[in-house]
């Protein structure tokens, strides 16, 4: 069984387009898919679940779509608080905090503080996130520590660098699932994915089912993971 499942939720806009709907209708449908994944992981005691919620590149989308996405996130956070409490779920937002939109920053901080002591399942929403930017930020932190004399070059090792990343105390994902048909990571957990199994599921994100997830876990269990040995 895996400890950490990470998910690239791709295909919301195409799902809406296929139905003659607006892009934000696809994002709204995607919330139901996210809840299905959380329930699936909770039932199987998967401790960490990370969702690629909004990338730094997504700021290139239209202002209308961004506005809806942020309002949807704020609404769902408030509506999901009873579920987080019931499932003893700790919620974290991982990304460039300086880029968090002001109107939802308070909602994010409230959910984080309200669930800080929970520990049955850890839900990580990678928000205003980019893998390259995370690595660069970690390098800058190391450079600052060296410049200030808190570190020597020989003190630098993998574990130390991992602690400089935004995901610092989260284990690397054993399995990354991506829906939507594309076969790429799209700047998602680039450092942490070094030994992850990556499963590309041929469905759009709102259509993901428990069967899809179960089959993905089965493929993971059948994979040879010898880490170069």
Count of other CB atoms within 10 angstroms of residue 34: 21
Backbone angles phi, psi at 190, to 5 degrees: -65, -40
CB 193 within 8 A of CB 185: yes
Find, among 136, 137, 138, 195, the residue nearest to 6 by Cα: 195
Find, among 22, 107, 93, 18, the residue nearest to 61 by Cα: 22
- Angstrom distance (rounded) from CA 128 to CA 115: 21
- Three-state DSSP at 205 gives helix
- Angstrom distance (rounded) from CA 214 to CA 134: 31
Q: Determine which one of 12, 25, 58, 169 is catalytic.
A: 58
Residue 78 is encoded by which pair of tokens? Answer: 């408030």
> Any catalytic annotation for residue 106?
no
> Any catalytic annotation for residue 58?
yes
Where do the H-state alpha helices sit in the chain?
12-18, 23-43, 63-86, 102-114, 131-147, 158-163, 210-222
Residue 61 is encoded by which pair of tokens? Answer: 């989308």
Residue in this structure with the two tokens 């950490």, named with its chain if needed: 4
| Catalytic residue IDs | 10, 58
């Amino acid at each position: 069984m895996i400890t950490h499942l990470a998910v690239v939720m791709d295909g919301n806009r195409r799902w809406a387009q296929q139905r003659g709907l607006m892009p934000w209708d696809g994002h709204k449908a995607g919330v139901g898919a996210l809840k299905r994944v959380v329930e699936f992981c909770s039932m199987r005691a998967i401790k960490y679940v990370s969702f690629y919620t909004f990338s730094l590149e997504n700021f290139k989308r239209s202002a209308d779509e961004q506005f809806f996405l942020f309002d949807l996130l704020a609404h769902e956070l408030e509506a999901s608080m009873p579920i987080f409490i019931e499932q003893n779920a700790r919620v974290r937002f991982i990304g460039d905090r300086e880029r968090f939109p002001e109107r939802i920053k308070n909602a994010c901080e409230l959910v984080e503080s309200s669930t800080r002591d929970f520990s049955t399942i850890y839900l990580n929403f990678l928000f205003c996130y980019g893998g390259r930017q995370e690595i660069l930020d970690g390098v800058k932190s190391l450079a600052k520590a060296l410049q200030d004399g808190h570190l020597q070059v020989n003190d630098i090792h993998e574990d130390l660098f991992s602690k400089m990343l935004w995901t610092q105390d989260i284990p690397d994902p054993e399995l990354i699932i991506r829906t939507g048909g594309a076969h790429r990571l799209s700047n998602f957990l680039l450092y942490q994915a070094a030994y992850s199994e990556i499963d590309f599921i041929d469905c759009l994100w709102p259509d993901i089912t428990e069967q899809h997830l179960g089959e993905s876990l089965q493929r993971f269990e059948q994979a040879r993971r010898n880490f170069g040995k």
